[in-house]
Amino acid sequence: MNKKNWQPCPRCNSSKVVKQGFGHWFFYGFSLIGISIIFLFIFPTIGITGLICALIFMIIAPFMFGRLKCKDCNLTWKYK
């Protein structure tokens, strides 16, 4: 979807809209893995929980393709 066809935010009608997709959620999961490995040696419970959450982020990443997020009100929706 190119920038000309982006729809404004349905809640606040703002044009400050960014695209969130596969890479966005995959990066969150990958970053959380790095942080969790560090915590795994200090606080094992937090490290294991972080690794599980990171895997969940990486699993849902392909399904989050085609989402838009408003920078003003933080609403996330799927564009048509």
Q: In the predicted model, what is the mean pLDDT of the chain?
A: 84
The pTM of the whole model exceeds 0.75? no
Phi, psi torsion values for 50, nearest 5 degrees: -65, -40
Alpha helical stretches, state H, the chain: 22-42, 44-60
pLDDT at 4: 56
pLDDT tens sequence across 39-65: 999 999 999 999 999 999 888 888 777
| Residue 14 region by backbone torsions, left for phi larger than 0, else alpha for psi between -120 and 50, else beta | beta
Distance CA 50, CA 36 (A): 5
pLDDT at 2: 53
